[in-house]
Amino acid sequence: MTFFRLFFINDYKHIKMNYLEFKEIRKKLKMKQADIAKSIGVGTRAVQYWEKGERKIPETTAYFVSNLLKEQQNKSDHGASPVVFSDLKIMNVPLANQYAQAGYLHNFADEEYIESLPTIPFTDDVEHRGEYMCFEIKGDSMDNGSYESYLEGDIILCRNIRQDYWMSKLHYDKWDFVVVHKEKGILVKRIVNHDVEKGIITLHSLNEYYDDMEIHLNDVAKLFNIISTRRKNNRR
């Protein structure tokens, strides 16, 4: 049976774990470093750094492995079969929260930096395959009070659009976008026009207090479709 667990950003805030606690949980799970790294969605080297105390263990990782242990113990207490970790159907997507977005802008091509980011777990049967990234919404430019709004603190799951696809007209009538601009930073916007010949896209904010802007795709480092949004239960 496939085992997976989804949770929201609010569930794991303020959860701390030191390297000794992480290592003890891994041993209780009877998992090798490579096994738990695969389940979490990071490289084995990241686990090695954590267990040596050379890097801080992300709160998302602390929450995730703690719950893996709880699930295994609960199943054991009820006489059920233990969890088969090789069957976990979870895709752990790196998260650039509000505080990490400046670092992401300069290090998005650095694999080691991406591996050091906290991750958000999603089932691996999300709508499309590809390269995924999560961002935390900052500001109110995409909040117009409607159901389409993106509120500050929302977590958005995004899929990278390969640069060779930028040469054709973007499907902006279907998706909203995250634009990683080389100077303006990370922009969450709606694209309302794409001049393919000139390589210019027009970005629109849902909040009427923000003006539309035109940017050239030569000034864009990465471009993402927004696939889904996670929001706290106590917010609209």
Domain boundaries, the chain: 9-88, 126-230
Structure confidence by residue, pLDDT tens digits, 133-177: 999 999 999 999 998 999 999 999 999 999 999 999 999 998 999
Closest CA to 212 of 160, 123, 141, 111: 141
Mean pLDDT of 25-48: 85
Alpha-carbon dihedral of residues 149, 152, 155, 160, nearest 10 degrees?
70
* CATH code given to domain 9-88: 1.10.260
Q: How many other CB atoms are found less than 10 A from the CB of residue 176?
A: 21
* CATH code given to domain 126-230: 2.10.109.10
Does the pTM surpass 0.85? The reply is no
